[in-house]
Structure 1
Amino acid sequence: MTKNLNIALVQSHLHWENPEANRALFDAKISQISEEVDLIILPEMFTTGFTMNPKDIDKLEGLKTLEWMQHTAREKNTAITGSLVFQENGKNYNRSFFVRPSGEYEKYDKKHTFTLAGEHKVYQAGTEKLIIDCKGFKICPLICYDLRFPVWARNVEAYDILIYVANWPRPRINAWDALLKARAIENMSYCIGVNRVGLDGLGHQYVGHSAVYDVLGEQLAYSEKEEILYASLSKEHITTNRNKLKFLNDRDSFSLL
């Protein structure tokens, strides 16, 4: 267990539906990380942008990107996470991978597919929440539209860090800002949001607003431009405030059907 978990958030533009170009793009960006970090976080669908055309992506690209993540994690000696288009058993998933320096990985499939864009028609929704242990910190990875559904994120597992990777567009960016902060406060957890910037192939504009909030909702990092953000997350900060305030002890109990 470590006292602090050091993270890097990579806020970037994306090449539309071009996994090879995006892997090269993130190779270049990750090579710029000179600080020692325990976790690198990439946006949602970081090899394609938020595409509803998985049929146009070679079915082998998901495995190629997973192998790239494993190679990068070993080379940088750090964990790495982000979501991508992944095809398995004839179905398409918006799947987040959490890859460790050893190359071992865990996966989470987006629970709330974005019906406004028709995501539910082309991607299989996930059904299971994932809690990961990383150097003594319990992490809950979620994806974009999941942010609007607090019941799914409710901290019944005593996790320490909530992560949202996203392609969250400019017209609704105020909701992104407000909900990231709210999820941190209500769950007494660090809450991290990693968004993209630039235009996608459909003309949608993305303005970043990647951010890190502590368990009291204080903002530790924030950016609206293409850059890498850094933050150090403290186990003592979590423990001290939870023991002092005990808000989670009074949360409502429920079961998800």
Structure 2
Amino acid sequence: MENKFRAGVVQFDVECGRIEANLEKISGYLETLASEKVSLVVLPEMFSCSFDNENLKGHSKSTQKIIEKLSYFALDYRMAIAGTLPEQEEGLIFNTMVFIDTDGKIKGKYRKLHLFRLTGEHLYYTAGNKIVTVDSTLGRIGLMTCYDLRFPELARSLFLNGAQLIVISAQWPEHRKEHWEALVRARAIENQLFMVCSNRTGTEAGLAFPGLSMIADPMGKVIAHAGNTDSCAFAEINPDAVKDMRTLIPCITDRRVEVYG
């Protein structure tokens, strides 16, 4: 990252199986954030259809058209867009984050590495096997999804791959909301980078979702917060904050990899 820019997060009640309704909500938020000159927007996990797991193969047939629509918005608004939706390949379904750059082109796809067994994700989805950073027009950005947040090894790998900012799409429930904020801030602090994290609102399958989408800076300070209703928020991303923090406390230099094993 070389220049300052604005990053935003979107949160809404992702309606299970209702692709058009969800896309209509998203288009409204993108327009709002574009009016604020936001250059990067992160959407919730499975933003197109939520975890409508029994119908994933059908929903995945719409994925390419959805990506094309978002690419149009990205190019029109000069805005990078990231979020996850179902992707099918050779009969397997993946929870895939797509990163569309400000030129409307796909710069990277990341398949969720850590599937959440507590809600049976492993029964419907195939786990990814690659760590992904993208070299975007905004800088080098790492990609993560929801449960990945609990695995510091992944965020550290993105840091070591040169990421100065990590985006996260999530469906993180109300009753673990304390973990959400603590982990977002911890990943920012320990890797000295920005975290831009979107979480949904609403209820589904007996679970309530609090929103609480946020952006944390390399000090771990929350610099944007979307509250607990359908909304969006944004903050300025200053690459000097990453550089200054990594110079002040040079964790990458002081690591003792020969001891860690």
Shared topology, TM-score over 0.5? yes
- Equivalent position to 2:199, from 176, 195, 200: 195
Residues 74, 102 of structure 1: 8 Å contact kept: yes
What count of residue pairs does the alignment treat as equivalent?
Answer: 253
Q: Which residue number corresponds to residue 73 of structure 1?
A: 74
SS in structure 2 opposite 1:229?
Answer: strand
Partner of 1:16: 16
Give 1:32 deviation, angstroms. 2.1
**2:215 equivalent to 1:220:** no
What percent of counterpart residues are identical?
Answer: 31
User: 1:206 is matched with which residue?
Assistant: 209
Give how far 1:124 is off. Answer: 1.0
Residue 46 of structure 1 is matched in structure 2 by: 47
Instruction: Please say if residues 57 and 88 of structure 2, whose CA atoms lie closer than 8 Å, have aligned partners that are also in contact.
Output: no
Q: CA deviation at 1:152?
A: 1.5
- The one-letter code matched in structure 2 to 1:209 is L
Letter in 1 for 2:69: W
C-alpha spacing 1:86/1:56, structure 2 compared with 1 (3 Å) = closer
Amino acid at match of 2:36: E
For residues 45 and 58 of structure 1, do their structure 2 counterparts lie closer, same or farther at Cα, with a shift above 3 Å needed? closer
Contact 1:54–1:85 under 8 Å retained in 2 = no
Post-superposition offset of 1:78:
1.1
* Structure 1 residue ranges without an equivalent (≥5): none
CA deviations 1:38-66 (Å, max 9, x no partner) are: 11111100011233324463331111211
- Distance (whole Å) between structure 2 residues aligned to residue 147 and residue 114 of structure 1: 11
Query: 2 CA distance for matches of 1:130 and 1:104?
Result: 16
Structure 1 counterpart of 2:124, which letter? V
Query: Which residue is equivalent to 2:26?
Result: 26
The residue identity in structure 2 corresponding to 1:148 is R
Instruction: Report the counterpart of residue 248 of structure 1 in structure 2.
Output: 252
Partners of 1:129 and 1:36 in 2: how far apart?
30
- Between the aligned partners of 1:169 and 1:215, the Cα distance in structure 2 is 25
| Matches of 2:57 and 2:210, distance apart in 1 | 26
Q: TM-score, normalised by structure 1?
A: 0.93
1:105-120 mapped onto 2 (5 Å cutoff) = 105=106, 106-120=108-122
In the alignment, which residue of structure 2 is the partner of 1:99?
100
The aligned residue for residue 173 of structure 1 is 177
Q: Indicate conservation of the 8 Å contact 2:92/2:125, yes or no.
A: yes
Q: State the secondary structure of the residue aligned to 1:37.
A: coil
Instruction: Flag the 1:129–1:116 CA change in 2: closer, same or farther, 3 A.
Output: same
| 1:231 aligns to 2:230 (yes or no) | no
The 8 Å contact of residues 49 and 59 in structure 2, kept in 1 or not, is answered as no
1:156 alignment partner in structure 2: 160
The code of the aligned residue for 1:111 comes to: L
User: Whole-Å Cα distance in 1 between the matches of residues 166 and 32 of structure 2?
Assistant: 25
Q: Which amino acid aligns with 1:164?
A: I
**Structure holding more helix per residue:** 2
Deviations, residues 152-179 of structure 1 (Å, cap 9, x unaligned): 2112123100111100011111111111
Q: CA RMSD in A?
A: 1.6
